[in-house]
């Protein structure tokens, strides 16, 4: 089996050597380990350092964001015949010593995705406010998308080849929510392992503070729900519109039967507007759901085509290696 370890980088010349020096050189059951760097528009020596350590380098001419860097890494890994794909950070947050444990269930065919659970509410260097917000954010995400993964925004993950072929990154900000929402929707097997993290070496470049992170993650999650769980999303909006309409209409009927209906006509009109809005949300949900079904068929065809292409390429490489040409 071939393992590709992917490290998205943006001006990481200071911490990258430490990360690369700790990556395991051999893992039982893994025939080949390849490390690749996605240089997302760095202006320092990130690429040069990666090449010095023998890494493959994928370069973006300008900074495109973590989501795009992850997508480029996936495409490059699949083109190189990866069976397992591990993504880690260049800031040394995730100890590379966990990689053998992280990929174990993928190797055994028990999981499609394994996530390193940082147990955020127990991380010593997290402030009390950050611990609470991390817990709350994970609680909201788990309940909205229907998963029991404890750390939904951890970037330390292992992916099977099958999951890489089926997942399609649609965001520039970060891939973590995008992939977990899609994995649940596609019935991919997702598990996690507890890990410890290293103290921070620098401030995050994805967001300025925890509140900006919550805002970006929240808007990203809403967009993902619209794309991948549209009927649930619009159904929720329809319910939130219909319930106050029902309450207002009941209030009007109460006054109407009490002989005071003329003074509450505005309430009835407002209730009618909310009912119409609720109906529009339901129609939008149905249309989005049908569009999603069509997208699912297209994705299935795309995955089949990609599998066939990769199989043909691997067969061709094998033929060339044996000295046999078609």
Tell me the three-class secondary structure of the chain, residue by residue. CEEEEEEEECCCCCCHHHHHHCCCCCCCCCCEEEEEEEEECCCCCHHHHHHHCCCEEEEECCCCCHHHHHHHHHHHHHHCCCCEEEECCCCCCCCHHHHHHHHHHHHCCCCCEEEEECCHHHCCCCCHHHHHHHHHHHHHHHHHHCCCCCCCCCCCEEEEHHHHHHCCCCCCCCCHHHHHHHHHHCCCCEEEEECCCCCCCCCCCCCCCHHHHHHHHHHHHHHHHHHHCHHHHHHHHHHHHHHHHHHHHHHHHHHHHCCCHHHHHHHHHHHHHHHHHHHHHHHHHHHHHHHHHHHHHHHHHHHHHHHHHHHHHHHHHHHHHHCCCC
CA nearest neighbour of 294 among 225, 227, 234 = 227
Per residue in 63-86, pLDDT (tens digit) is 988 889 999 999 999 988 899 999
- Calculate the alpha carbon distances from 251 to 40, 247, 256, 272, 280 in Å: 58, 6, 9, 13, 24
Residue 41 and residue 196: Cα distance in Å, rounded? 30
R_g (Cα) of the chain, nearest Å: 24
Lowest mean pLDDT among 14-28, 154-168, 254-268: 254-268
Q: Give the phi and the psi of residue 101 in degrees, each rounded to 5.
A: -70, -35
* Angstrom distance (rounded) from CA 289 to CA 272: 26
Q: Is the pLDDT of residue 321 over 60?
A: no
Total Cβ atoms within 10 A of residue 31 = 10
From residue 319, give the alpha-carbon distance in Å to each of 244, 313, 315, 322, 325: 68, 10, 6, 5, 6
Is residue 244 scored above 50 in pLDDT?
yes
Instruction: Pull the structure tokens for residue 83.
Output: 């069976």
Tell me what pLDDT residue 320 has.
Answer: 39
Mean predicted confidence (pLDDT) in 154-175: 86
Place of tokens 């890990």: 195
Highest mean pLDDT among 46-50, 180-184, 201-205, 290-294: 46-50
Give residue-wise pLDDT tens across range 276-319: 999 999 998 888 877 776 766 676 666 667 667 666 666 665 44
Closest CA to 299 of 228, 242, 235, 251: 228
Quickly tell me which residue has 């028990």 as its tokens.
Answer: 110
């Amino acid at each position: 089996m071939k393992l590709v370890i992917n490290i998205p980088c943006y001006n990481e010349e200071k911490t990258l050597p430490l990360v690369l020096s700790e990556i395991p050189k051999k893992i039982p059951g893994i025939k080949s380990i390849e490390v690749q760097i996605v240089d997302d528009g760095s202006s320092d020596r990130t690429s040069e350092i990666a090449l010095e350590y023998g890494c493959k380098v994928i370069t973006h001419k300008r900074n495109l964001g973590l989501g795009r860097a992850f997508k480029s890494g996936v495409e490059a890994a699949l083109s190189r015949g990866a069976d397992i794909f591990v993504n880690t950070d260049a800031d040394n947050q995730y100890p590379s010593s966990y990689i053998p444990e992280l990929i174990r269930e993928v190797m055994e065919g028990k999981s499609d995705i394994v996530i390193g659970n940082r147990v955020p509410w127990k991380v010593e260097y997290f402030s009390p406010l950050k611990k609470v917000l991390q817990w709350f954010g994970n609680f909201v995400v788990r309940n909205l998308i229907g998963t029991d993964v404890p750390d939904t925004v951890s970037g330390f993950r292992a992916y099977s080849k099958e999951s890489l072929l089926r997942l399609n990154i649609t965001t520039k900000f970060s891939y973590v929510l995008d992939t977990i929402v899609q994995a649940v929707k596609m019935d991919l097997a997702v598990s996690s392992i507890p890990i410890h993290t290293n103290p921070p070496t620098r401030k995050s470049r994805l967001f300025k503070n925890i509140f900006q992170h919550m805002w970006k993650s929240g808007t990203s999650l809403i967009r993902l729900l619209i794309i991948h769980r549209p009927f649930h999303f619009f159904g929720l909006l329809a319910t939130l519109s219909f319930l106050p309409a029902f309450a207002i209409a009941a209030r009007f009927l109460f006054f109407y039967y009490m002989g005071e209906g003329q003074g509450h006509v505005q309430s009835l009109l407002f209730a009618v507007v909310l009912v119409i809005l609720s109906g529009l949300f339901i129609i939008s949900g149905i249309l989005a759901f049908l569009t999603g079904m069509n997208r699912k068929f297209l994705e299935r065809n795309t995955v089949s085509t990609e599998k066939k292409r990769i199989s043909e390429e691997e067969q061709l490489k094998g033929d060339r290696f044996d000295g046999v040409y078609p």
